[in-house]
Amino acid sequence: MFDSDAPHSEAPRSEARDPDALFGLEQPAAEGVGFAELARLPLAELMSPDWADALAPVEGKLRDVLDVLAAEVAEGHLLLPSPSNVLRAFRQPLAGVRVLIVGQDPYPTPGHAVGLSFAVDGATRPIPRSLANIYKELNADLGLPPRVHGDLSRWSAQGVLLLNRVLTVRAGAAASHRNKGWAAVTTAAIAAVVNRRSADGTPAPLVVILWGKDAASVTPLLGSAPVIASAHPSPLSASRGFYGSRPFSRANNLLLEQGDGTVDWELPPLP
């Protein structure tokens, strides 16, 4: 089930980064970078240091995927999101993750995918219908006003990991990169989130939100992490259990039970 319209589908920074680094946390990644170049860069230049450590065991698989993507571009295919945003979810430190929201594929519409599941660029109008439905439930759940934009970076900055199961797609071809190798990378990422430990050895605070059957397929990876599961927010399925599921207030209550405060889910009127 991709995170567009039909189902099939700041936590504190852990350390200072070089402001000139290609994927520094302080600034957007440089435009014009290709997949072939990404495949040659050290992991620490592609993501936060603790994510680089966590994903080191699958570094070879990640580079294999990037090589496959470079070959597709060389054949003339437009891939989404842009190379500079493909690993965007891993720019925020792994240590700061508090809530994991699993998507499936990026939006296949050019200009929509930005590397965070369900999010779009702040200038995109109208926003995708799935995201509009997420805002409707946010309003019903917490009374927060729906927004005209789809910039969810404020959630990301508070430790909400917006992670697609598959991180790229061919423009106009949903699910086109399902078998390119991304599953091994994102499986390792989900395992890294779930297996973190606090200083006393107990599991680090975490809530996992799963929308739809495809997202629910990661359940075996989640161990004892609290899970909030419902139908997907797509217009085709939102009325079958997404509406009324109250994921935002439930996530905050579960975080409070773990002694980790709450997420402020309100987004600014404009990005």
From the candidates 3, 5, 50, 105, give the one annotated as an active-site residue. 105
| Buried b or exposed e, range 182-219, using 16+ CB within 10 angstroms | beebbebbbbbbbeeeeeeeeebbbbbbbbbbbbeebe
Q: How many residues does the chain have?
A: 271
Instruction: Find residue 183's DSSP bridge partners.
Output: none
Q: How far apart are CA 252 and CA 149, in angstroms?
A: 23
The answer to whether the CB of 156 falls within 8 A of the CB of 92 is yes
Residue 105 is a catalytic residue: yes
End-to-end CA distance of the chain: 27
Distance of CA 110 to the CA centre of its chain: 18
Q: What residues act catalytically?
A: 105
